[in-house]
Amino acid sequence: MKRFNFTKRIFSLVLAIFCVLPSLLLGLSGCGEALGSGETVTLYVYNWGEYMSDGSEGCLDANAAFEEWYFDTYGQKVKVNYSTFSSNESLYAKLSSGSVSYDVVVPSDYMIERLIAEGLLAPLNYDNISNIQNILPEFQNADYDPDKDGDGYNDYSVPYLYGMIGIIYNTTMVDEADIGSWELMWNETYAGNILQFNNSRDAFGTAQYYLGLDVNSDDEDDWRAALDKLKAQKPILQGYVMDEIYNKMENGSAGIAAYYAGDYLAMYENNPDLEFFYPKEGTNLYVDAMCIPKSSKNKEIAEAYIDFMLTETPAVANAEYTYYASPNRVVLENEEYIEYMGEIKDDAYEKMYNTDSVMTSSYENLSGDKLLLINELWEELKSDVTVSAGIYVICGVIVGIVAVCAVYLMIRKQRRRID
Amino acid sequence: MKFLSRCYIGLIFLLLYVPILVLIVFSFNESGSLAEFSGFSFMWYEELFNDEEALSSLMNSLILAVSSSVIATVIGTFGALGLHRMRSKYVKGAVNTVTNIPMMNPDIVTGVSMMLLFVAVAAIVKSQSFFGFGTMLIAHVTFNLPYVLLSVMPRFKGLDKSLSEAAQDLGCTPARAFFMVELPEIVPGIISGLMLGFTMSLDDFVISHFVSSPDFQTLPLYVYNQTAHNVKFSMYALSALIVVVILVILLVVNFAGSVGSRKASKKRR
């Protein structure tokens, strides 16, 4: 008996060790980092997926170039930990949960506005970012990040790349006479060949621009009007899509889609029948900008990183890699870059930069109840059944199935007992 | 009738394997587009092996899958033993239900609650770099456990109690009886639990998304975040390689298994 207790105790001990093991590892990994920071500092960069030149196919590896440049300049070893996100909202979720801390993040305009409002960003010290003068003046004192301290620059953000939404169409399928306006996306001649954004803000945007409404409107009726327009469009759509758009447009299974100008060039490389225009009613202009979260532990290195990305070599490499438009003067004047754009498409440079005649506006951060409203309207558009009723129906069906199963099992048990 | 059943099987296999086949074929496509096949090339494979980020996230995925499934299997096997020996039927049922909850729970609920727990603990111990391999491991062990229990429990149920009692009658300690008599009988359940845990952990995205840190990115997280723009074609190459490796492993396991069982049946004769 005594022996049995002894082995039982050893068993419990072994099990306990296994349970505690992960937390021990956790502690160890934490220690390792603290010790290592004396030599190599890790800089955490959080950017959009596929949004920085990474050294593939002979282009510049921008992060490695920074590490080298920083070591040569300051004699301090820095390791860039580069990770990516797929939407502004997932970036927001990560930053606001406080589970991780980043040193440089690259959100879009309306998300920067929200992050500033919630006090999640640290103001930039432009003494450490001298290359800020490379950024064109029209990108300074932006609506999403106004220049409150009067130094002539955005307080919290440095523009990285920007772009505009336009309409991509296949010249073999679409008549040239029909282009020029958002009307093309509502044109019934092309029923079944039109793709719409599967993302509420951009989809509502297309309808709002078409109707001449404000995309940041406070008036619920405006949003309802846009919803009606989208509902009218639904029957002639092929579908609501996001990245499937690449394949659908490249292989010609769809003929018309609204998307971002930079991505159009990527599609054009695989299908030279594709053309692109900015609708005359106006369109969305968005800016992705580099910011430093308040939780950053290496703010000065982060500022050096931003400064480095504004210099000629990495800025040109990033613009060439992503095909997105650069707000950086040295990129626009770079001979190699102009030539590169010309090789992709004759008028690629003009398409991206000669856009003064295009009317643009930006999305602004909307209040919580407006976001709720848009979500509700979006659900209404996508489901056609009013949401609350749909949920009750589904719950009812599930409860019904469970009840039927339970009754069946009970009957079976009873029968067996009788047998 | 036979023709119909063959058609049905053919259709099922078609639906299961055509997507994978398309993926493998296009991983050799030179142009980097799904629109047309322009030429055979290994360039995406070359790019993949130069892509440090992708390879290190694959490495992380494997480390995490192996360690979490092993830990979960050890805890789960002893858990199943304990459950099996419980005397009260009601307590047993209750414990069984509770251990199944992580499996029934939607991943997103598990993920968010794990994240909140870790954030709270990090705030209590005032640690800055709390998230990482450790948190991922705890989360993965947690959701692997029910699968191990589920595959080991039936083995215990099918066990003849008198075998272990006979062993103890013949002078074995209870522990020795467990290792000598019971354990060999439940090994198939343990192995299937281990494999299940390994695959669950390898392809988990939702829970990892919440408890990960930039220090420790797994492959699903890496691929998902590329969807912001176009997914790299080297990912097609990577997926094709994973499929091939799994196929080879399965073939080897099945082959070895059949050889083993043939030997065993010969012995018995």
Q: How far does B21 lie from chain A, in Å, by closest CA?
A: 17
CA nearest A291: which of A71, A123, A52?
A: A123
- Every domain of chain B and the residues it spans: 56-218
**Three-state secondary structure string covering B208-229:** HHHHCECCECCHHHHHHHHCCC
CATH superfamily assigned to domain B56-218: MetI-like (1.10.3720.10)
Q: Please check whether residue A248 lies inside any domain of the structure.
A: no
Domain shared by A153 and A55, yes or no: yes
Among A272-286, A304-318, B46-60, which stretch is predicted with the lowest mean pLDDT? Answer: B46-60
Q: Please check whether residue A355 lies inside any domain of the structure.
A: no
For residue A181, give the amino acid letter: S
pLDDT tens track for B194-218? 988 998 998 899 999 989 888 888 9
Asked whether the beta carbons of residue A15 and residue B78 sit closer than 8 angstroms, the reply is yes
Q: Tell me the chain A residues in contact with residue B33 when contact means C-beta distances shorter than 8 Å.
A: 247, 250-251, 270-271
A243 vs A94, residue with greater confidence: A94
pTM as predicted? 0.79
Q: How far is CA A287 from CA A94, A95, A160, in A?
A: 21, 19, 7
Task: Tokens for A319, please give them.
Answer: 């613009």
Asked whether the beta carbons of residue B226 and residue A26 sit closer than 8 angstroms, the reply is no
Q: List the CATH number of the domain containing A297.
A: 3.40.190.10
Nearest residue, CB atoms, B174 vs list A7, A46, A55: A7
Per-residue confidence (pLDDT) for residue A15, from 0 to 100: 65
Nearest residue, CB atoms, A46 vs list B71, B141, B214: B214
Q: How far does A396 lie from chain B, in Å, by closest CA?
A: 19
State how many domains chain A has.
2
Which residue does chain B place closest to A268, by CA atoms?
Answer: B33
Nearest residue, CB atoms, A270 vs list B31, B135, B222: B31
Once rounded to an integer, what is the mean pLDDT over residues A158-169?
94
Q: Please check whether residue A338 lies inside any domain of the structure.
A: no
Q: The domain containing residue A134 runs over which residues?
A: 40-159+292-320
Nearest residue, CB atoms, A270 vs list B35, B213, B225: B35
CA nearest A250: which of B233, B234, B33?
A: B33
For residue A399, give the amino acid letter: V
User: What percent of chain A lies above the pLDDT cut of 70?
Assistant: 89
Nearest residue, CB atoms, B214 vs list A30, A56, A100: A100
Q: Which residues contact B253 (CB under 8 A, 6 or more apart)?
A: none
Q: Please check whether residue A52 lies inside any domain of the structure.
A: yes
Which residue does chain A place closest to B51, by CA atoms?
Answer: A56
pLDDT tens track for A186-219? 999 999 999 999 888 899 999 999 999 999 998 9
Domain shared by A49 and A146, yes or no: yes
Asked whether the beta carbons of residue A251 and residue B35 sit closer than 8 angstroms, the reply is yes
pLDDT(A42) > 50: yes
d(CA A404, CA B126): 52
Task: Tokens for B26, please give them.
Answer: 């296009």
Interface residue of A67, A83, A245 to substitute, partner B, most B CBs within 10 Å:
A83
Interface residue of B29, B31, B33 to substitute, partner A, most A CBs within 10 Å:
B33
- Bridge partners of A257, per DSSP, are A168, A195
Asked whether the beta carbons of residue B229 and residue A27 sit closer than 8 angstroms, the reply is no
A169 vs B215, residue with greater confidence: A169
At B190, is the secondary structure helix, strand, or coil? helix
d(CA A286, CA A263): 14
Asked whether the beta carbons of residue B230 and residue A50 sit closer than 8 angstroms, the reply is yes
Q: Which helix (H) or strand (E) holds A44?
A: strand A40-48
